[in-house]
Amino acid sequence: MNLSPTQSITPNDFFPVTSDQSIGTKVRSRRPCDPCRRRKSRCEIADGSPPCLLCRFHRQNCTFNEEPQPRKRRATAPNEDDQPTIRTDVRNPPDMRYASPQSHESSKIRQDVPIDDYANLRGPSLLKKTLGLQQNRHSRFVGSTSVYEPTLLDLRNDEEADIAVGASVLRRVDTHDTAFILSPDSDTQNHQDDIQDLDAIETIVAPHGQALIHLYFRIVHPSFPVLHKKVYLEKYERTHREFSPPLLAAVYLLALNWWSYSSELALLPKPDVSRLEKLALKTMGNIVHRPKLSTIQAGLLLLQRPEGDSWALTSQLVGLGQDLGLHLDCTQWRVPSWERGLRKRLAWALFMQDKWGSLVHGRPSHVTLSDWEVQPLGEDDFPENAADEDDEDGSTEVEKGRTLFCEMIKLTELLANILSRFYTLRAEREAARRANEGVRWILEIAKPLQLALRQWFSSLPAVLKMENLAARKLSSTGYLHLGYYAVEMTLHRRILRYLSSVDDRGLRSICRQAAQVRLKSAMDFVSSLRPEHLQSFWYSASKYNFALVGTFISLLWATATTSEEADLYKKSLDEYRWVLRLSSKSADFLERAIGVMAASTGVLVKAIPENPDADRILGRALKQAESEATTTSGYIRHNSHVPSLAYRSESEMHEETSPENAVGETPSDSGAGGPSWNVEHTWFGTVGDVSAAFVGHDEGGMSDAYLGLDDAPIEFDYSQNS
């Protein structure tokens, strides 16, 4: 079957009707085609002649030219069944009937009955021994303080046997009594509406469901790998009714953003996005009563929509993730290896959503180090590789996306460190209380964080450099670099807010010029974005991070002590708005960033006086200290046993005995401008160094002269920060 780029494809083109006489049999070649062999995928030919199903999906030539490699046999682990499948359940074969068309919109969707239990599928399937993606059951982690006593579980000899508990079962997944209770979906709220909702979702996009899925895996998935591609395709081949309704809708919604990147869709009218969004949000509220891995996937994808940001949904997903045990180390669990990798990717995606959501909304984080055991991601946790890459113009590189995802996790850990040290309620109260000491103690805490940021940036793989662009490919590296500048500015916002008349004039100048260097680097980055960056997938926090640059300019403007400096930042804000307007013509989501900035910075800067009042600006932090002393004197007096919160936040207590963190100790109270404060030993260097760096800054604004540091490597354990 030959497919032209403009030919409309329906699900039946890929999943043909099977006659009753041939149920349970498939015609396939004596050997897999060359692309399937390279992918190490099962090669399925549904109609007796090439191309196979996967080659049709990837729009590749299905050839049989390469010589087969010698087969290497290995023993299969008893709990593994990792052979992918592209086949249907022969006990419940699809009849491929179409829905009775009650209207023009409801025509031509499949009516297959979904499989009841994946364990009963004939032939190999990735889903047979799944824990978190069962069709009609959902699982919840049994915590150590629940009514199910772990000691009693340990008395049972057969660790792998399920324990019947009424209509539910208890299942242990390792030798450490990690257990889940599996309950039927039928007992949960609105379960009976799932099929109707799935049909409604599929009807909205029909007959373009397959083309939209292809778009999603081409552009979004490589840079945000929270799905398992082969599992998703296996389920969709059988029927769209096997999915969680909001997950099916979320994949379609994200893919619709790149409608024009499909040669077969570009000239056709788009489906009704608003109807699809309403169904996605409605059904998301339904499925939280029966949490599965697909629930987390759906929520994460819905949060990536241009208007999808929601702290309430983020908070709910963190709780559901804990229900599913995503905060645990699943390395030794008796679940398929592909599910272990998926669980780890979803856990870290939740970690990122929580930390960036905390920054975006100014809310306390829900994920803490003391309840986080997820191991770092490795290459084996990602099922796709370069062989799975799509060659069509506008696609995203698979292995580049994998590296991007891992580096974003590391950057998020650094962000979490900064938030926990400077932006918790207790840390902010501590900073206000100690404002009379000047800013030097804040600089000492910030020093190791700045060093870690510098090391992370300098260690980025070459493939993630902004200038590393493949021909006719989209690149999502922009959201990583933008995130880096957002973290830098978040650190400097805390420093700028607490500069006061207590601090030496030279030190104040150093701090402000350091912030100016960061601002110039961020503005240069935004100006340098190319269409390959702007048209790609951007992480959900990016809209805020673009607006944060404007917020940072407004902070520098509001705290300027001279009219000349204030005019400089006023012009910088106008210039930045102009750059965003120009770039927004290539990226619709930047219009939303401009809107966010207009509703926040654009309104608040109107209150900045034309002639700066230096005394008021430099006295602001001291005034806060006086207010804090008045309102919390009793709290401080009766809680004197509480350690200095800025140095021992919850996420950093594991570092308190580390000798390399001695720089975080409180300096002597001799005064900010006294003899004991030598700016040559600060992480800023000298005023002259900062000026030189501002004139000739490197890509990250992180020159050695600027930091006043040697090249010794900085040890930073990314896996332990929260």
Question: What average pLDDT score do residues 168-174 get?
Answer: 92
DSSP 463-515: GGSTT---TTEE--HHHHHHHHHHHHHHHHHHHHHT--TTS-HHHHHHHHHHH
Measure the CA–CA gap between 554 and 566, rounded to whole angstroms: 10
The model's confidence at residue 674, banded by pLDDT at 50, 70 and 90, is very low
At 633 the pLDDT is: 56
Lowest-confidence range among 10-14, 524-528, 703-707? 703-707
At 138 the pLDDT is: 95
Contact in structure between 521 and 695 (CB atoms under 8 Å)? no
Output the CA–CA distances (angstroms, integers) from residue 706 to 415, 490, 679, 681, in the order listed.
22, 19, 12, 12
Extended beta strands in 499-582, E state: none
Q: Tokens 């600006």 map to which residue?
A: 617
Question: What average pLDDT score do residues 300-320 get?
Answer: 95
The one-letter amino acid code at 414 reads L
The model's confidence at residue 644, banded by pLDDT at 50, 70 and 90, is very low
Enumerate residues 6+ apart whose C-beta is below 8 A from 261: 215, 218, 219, 393, 394
- Which has more confidence, 134 or 391? 134
Lowest-confidence range among 69-83, 166-180, 487-501? 69-83
- Which has more confidence, 669 or 530? 530
In degrees rounded to 5, what are phi and psi of residue 497?
A: -65, -25
The model's confidence at residue 103, banded by pLDDT at 50, 70 and 90, is very low
Torsion sign, CA atoms 353, 357, 358, 364: negative
Choose among 381, 384, 52, 87: nearest CA to 235: 87
DSSP 172-239: E-STT--EEEEEEGGGSTTGGGHHHHHHHHHHHHTT-HHHHHHHHHHHTGGGS--S-HHHHHHHHHH-
Choose among 373, 371, 381, 259: nearest CA to 319: 371
Question: What average pLDDT score do residues 495-504 get?
Answer: 93
HEC string of 411-445 equals HHHHHHHHHHHHCCHHHHHHHHHCHHHCCHHHHHH
Report for 102-111, 168-177, 183-192, 513-522: range of highest mean pLDDT: 513-522
Measure the CA–CA gap between 469 and 372, rounded to whole angstroms: 36
Output the CA–CA distances (angstroms, integers) from residue 91 to 234, 272, 464, 612, 656, in the order listed.
17, 36, 48, 79, 60
Measure the CA–CA gap between 309 and 363, rounded to whole angstroms: 14
Measure the CA–CA gap between 307 and 509, rounded to whole angstroms: 40
- Examine the pLDDT at 642 and tell me if it is beyond 50: no
Measure the CA–CA gap between 490 and 450, rounded to whole angstroms: 11
Output the CA–CA distances (angstroms, integers) from residue 454 to 423, 468, 660, 713, in the order listed.
21, 20, 17, 10
At 357 the pLDDT is: 97
Contact in structure between 540 and 353 (CB atoms under 8 Å)? yes
Measure the CA–CA gap between 371 and 710, rounded to whole angstroms: 36
Question: What average pLDDT score do residues 658-665 get?
Answer: 36
By DSSP bridging, strand 473-474 and strand 395-396 are: parallel
At 66 the pLDDT is: 79
Which tokens in the block code for residue 394?
Answer: 């506008």
Question: What average pLDDT score do residues 666-676 get?
Answer: 35
Average pLDDT, the chain: 80
Q: What are 701-713's pLDDT values in tens digits?
A: 333 333 433 333 3
Output the CA–CA distances (angstroms, integers) from residue 349 to 353, 415, 655, in the order listed.
6, 14, 25
- Which has more confidence, 503 or 8? 503
Contact in structure between 507 and 673 (CB atoms under 8 Å)? yes
- Examine the pLDDT at 97 and tell me if it is beyond 50: no
At 299 the pLDDT is: 98
Question: What average pLDDT score do residues 417-421 get?
Answer: 96
Lowest-confidence range among 409-418, 518-527, 550-559, 579-588? 579-588
Measure the CA–CA gap between 594 and 599, rounded to whole angstroms: 9
- Examine the pLDDT at 192 and tell me if it is beyond 60: yes
Question: What average pLDDT score do residues 379-400 get?
Answer: 85
Report for 299-308, 638-647, 695-704: range of highest mean pLDDT: 299-308
At 392 the pLDDT is: 81
**pTM of the prediction?**
0.78
Which tokens in the block code for residue 606?
Answer: 């109107």
Widest distance between CA atoms in the chain = 93
Helix 589-599 / helix 542-558 crossing angle, nearest 10 deg: 30
Q: Kindly state the percentage of the chain with pLDDT values over 90.
A: 58
The model's confidence at residue 490, banded by pLDDT at 50, 70 and 90, is very high
Question: What average pLDDT score do residues 178-196 get?
Answer: 93
- Which has more confidence, 698 or 116? 116
Question: What average pLDDT score do residues 542-567 get?
Answer: 96
At 14 the pLDDT is: 40
Question: What average pLDDT score do residues 361-384 get?
Answer: 95
Q: What are 29-64's pLDDT values in tens digits?
A: 457 888 887 776 778 776 667 888 788 777 778 888
At 68 the pLDDT is: 66
Measure the CA–CA gap between 569 and 394, rounded to whole angstroms: 38
